[in-house]
Amino acid sequence: GESVGLHLPTLSVQEGDNSIINCAYSNSASDYFIWYKQESGKGPQFIIDIRSNMDKRQGQRVTVLLNKTVKHLSLQIAATQPGDSAVYFCAESETGANNLFFGTGTRLTVIP
């Protein structure tokens, strides 16, 4: 199957700083990418998605960047807050959300 991996398994940031979580994928046919946040004991929660015809998409305090040339995806969180502490998963698909392949995850810890 597709390989979706993350560069760093853990990331610690100071409260108020910006966070950047990176993700690499290997399937050049992937055209849909999505980030999920998973807090301890809960199911994943949608953050933001992006299609391959875009290279940037912004949400509330979050930005997703897609570099198809190097098959790299990143999630930027502005002014990181303690509530952002969680595991973040990137996922990709050739056919939308119906067939998502999830990466291993990065644990983000926000230091007050």
Shortest distance (Å) from residue 89 CB to other proteins: 5
The residue among 28 and 104 lying less far from other proteins, judged by its C-beta, is: 104
Would you call 111 exposed, middle or buried from its count of C-beta atoms within 10 A (0-12, 13-18, 19+)?
exposed
Shortest distance (Å) from residue 7 CB to other proteins: 15
Tokens of 82: 């303690």
Tokens of 106: 């990065």
Q: What DSSP element (H or E) covers 87?
A: strand 86-93
Residues 30, 94 contacting (CB under 8 angstroms): yes
Q: Is residue 92 a contact residue for other proteins (CB under 8 A)?
A: no
Binder among 14, 67, 81, 104 for other proteins (CB under 8 A):
104
Q: Is residue 50 a contact residue for other proteins (CB under 8 A)?
A: no
Footprint of other proteins on 51-90 (CB under 8 A)? 89
Q: Using the 8-state DSSP alphabet, how is residue 53 labeled?
A: T
Site string for other proteins, 6-45 (x = CB under 8 A): --------------------------x-x------xxxxx
